[in-house]
Amino acid sequence: MPRNTHAQSLSRRTVLRGMGTAVALPLLNVMSPTRLLAASASDGKPPLRMGFFYVPNGMHMPDWTPKQDGFKFDLPPTLARIADHQKDINVLTGLTLDGARAHGDGGGDHARSVAAFLTGSHPRKTNGADIQNGISVDQMTAKYVGDKTRFASLELGLETSAQAGNCDSGYSCAYASNMSWRGPTNPMAKEIDPGALFDRLFSGQVVKETKQAISVREKYRKSILDFVLEDAKQLHKTLPPVDQRKLDEYLYSVRDVEKRVGGAEKLRMSEDGVPDYPRPSGVPKELSKHAELMMDMVTLAYQTDSTRILSFMFTNAGSNRSYPDIGVTEGHHESSHHGKSPHKQDNIARINRYHIDRFNYLLSRMKQVPEGNGTLLDNCMLVYGSGISDGDRHNHDDLPIILAGGAGGRIKTGRHIRYQKETPLCNLYVWMMQQMGAKADSFGDSKGPLDKLS
């Protein structure tokens, strides 16, 4: 970190250093447009981020789709869970994912719905090594802007990725458990461990931790921030009051997440109070805690501009996980085939609300982070939804899709927008890619950029 007495201007690349560790900073006011270097938007505004959040098995659509269009619409029961953010989202109705349809391949809608969700492609039906899909929108965009951040993209989730096996009616598990594809035969495996993700974001930045730092931290369970504390104090003195508050709030968030990651598994302690085995993986047994830790990590990754492109799968395609903590003891996939059973439809509605509660947590966290003239959420565009509409019908039209965030003022939010039937979901991706600066006139089965957003 520069040892200037008054930080009138600070590079966006500035980090806090100490004992071989480096921690990135959030966007501060003193990071003026002339010093943002390649990490900034060309006009000096906060950088724009994109994210994709996938839930499996479709939705209970009567509890999802608003009846009114435009700005004045009532939130149905599922969307009512994000009522605090109604002005920050657009509900998009009528979008279609044609690549997830059978097209003569028979069963396998769950695997196809994930494989096609970000690619718009129809995956080759195989459970062997000859998988074939398309490049996904996140990876296509990363080719244009990925070099501006430490991580071109991040692929995250709550269940591990598989690269082989038969997971859905003859479709490879690679399709069912990966939605990000670097190329036709290259699925991008997800990181599901909050501890490992935390280490990627904060332990190896710019310079790798020295063996001495790792040894000390593991032995005494010291925070990463302990090593950069002196640098943080010196920087704090040079900042104006508004940036001092931003720095304090950011470091508190990092410390808080680190503590919760470290407490995800109980440590066995030796007699002298020192842990007798290495740092735990950090994956909590409770799904809600796991999800919230990962959402905290998403916020920090965007806040530090470690990446601008991110994908997140809540569970893999066709997941049959039960949710006993919300009163659903039957499996998710089993319940999605409801056959109009009131009990199973109630199960699906409960699970839908559970998932969107986690997304609501993320939106709340991001909205608490001031950035530029608004918040972190204002400078994002986050897609939340599924590649299946009604899980019983396995249909891929009229998808449940939310677009959250203001995209740096490019989106008029707070609306329910109803599109013409069979409007490609990929139209949305073309529009998003163009906002990110990617040269894209088409993607997948798109017919042009999605209208009505600006």
Bridge partners, residue 275, by sequence:
269
Give me the pLDDT at residue 269, please: 37
The two three-digit tokens of residue 81, written as one number? 């869970």
The closest of 68, 32, 58 to 112, measured between CA atoms, is 58
CB 58 within 8 A of CB 386: yes
DSSP state of 152: S
DSSP state of 59: B
CB neighbours (10 Å) of residue 299? 23
The closest of 397, 453, 438, 451 to 135, measured between CA atoms, is 438
CB neighbours (10 Å) of residue 126? 15
Name the percent of the chain in helix, strand, coil, to the closest 5: 40, 15, 45
CB neighbours (10 Å) of residue 148? 18
CB neighbours (10 Å) of residue 391? 26
Residue 94: in which H helix or E strand, if any? strand 89-96
CB 111 within 8 A of CB 168: yes
CA distances from 159 to 115, 176, 313, 357, 395 (A): 16, 11, 8, 18, 24
The closest of 124, 132, 129 to 103, measured between CA atoms, is 124
Cα–Cα distance measured from residue 366 to residue 386, given in angstroms and rounded to the nearest whole number = 22
Cα–Cα distance measured from residue 323 to residue 327, given in angstroms and rounded to the nearest whole number = 7
Cα–Cα distance measured from residue 238 to residue 234, given in angstroms and rounded to the nearest whole number = 7
CB 221 within 8 A of CB 259: no
Give me the pLDDT at residue 283, please: 78
The two three-digit tokens of residue 358, written as one number? 């986690």
**Angle at 58 (CA atoms; ends 53, 60), nearest 5 degrees:** 115
Cα–Cα distance measured from residue 321 to residue 328, given in angstroms and rounded to the nearest whole number = 10
State the pTM of this model.
Answer: 0.84
CA distances from 341 to 121, 140, 347 (A): 33, 42, 10
Can you spell out the DSSP letters for 273-302? S-BSSPPP----SSHHHHHHHHHHHHHHHH
φ and ψ of 6, to 5 deg: -125, 120
CA distances from 55 to 32, 203, 245, 354 (A): 39, 30, 36, 11
The closest of 165, 168, 160 to 113, measured between CA atoms, is 168
Count CA atoms within 13 Å of residue 98 on its CB side. Answer: 11
φ and ψ of 376, to 5 deg: -55, -40
Q: Which domains does the chain have, with CATH numbers?
A: 1-44+201-282 (no CATH), 46-192+287-297+307-454 (3.40.720.10)
The closest of 406, 411, 336 to 373, measured between CA atoms, is 406
Helix (H, G, I), strand (E, B) or coil at 380: strand
CB 282 within 8 A of CB 264: yes
The two three-digit tokens of residue 113, written as one number? 């719905």
The two three-digit tokens of residue 179, written as one number? 């939605």
Residuewise pLDDT in 10s, the chain (454 residues): 444 444 556 776 677 766 556 677 777 777 754 333 334 444 568 999 999 999 999 999 999 999 999 999 999 999 999 999 999 999 999 999 999 999 999 999 999 999 999 999 999 999 999 999 999 999 999 999 999 998 999 999 999 998 888 999 999 999 999 999 999 999 999 999 998 888 888 765 434 445 545 554 454 445 667 767 777 788 888 888 878 877 777 777 777 777 777 654 443 334 443 333 333 355 788 999 999 999 999 999 999 899 999 999 999 999 999 999 999 999 999 999 999 999 999 999 999 999 999 999 999 999 999 998 999 999 999 999 999 999 999 999 999 999 999 999 999 999 999 999 999 999 999 999 999 999 999 999 999 999 999 8
Residue 374: in which H helix or E strand, if any? strand 374-375
Helix (H, G, I), strand (E, B) or coil at 389: coil
Helix (H, G, I), strand (E, B) or coil at 95: strand
Cα–Cα distance measured from residue 407 to residue 146, given in angstroms and rounded to the nearest whole number = 18
Bridge partners, residue 168, by sequence:
171
Q: What beta strand segments (E) does 346-436 contain?
A: 370-371, 374-375, 380-385, 401-404, 415-424
68 CB burial (10 A radius; 0-12, 13-18, 19+): exposed
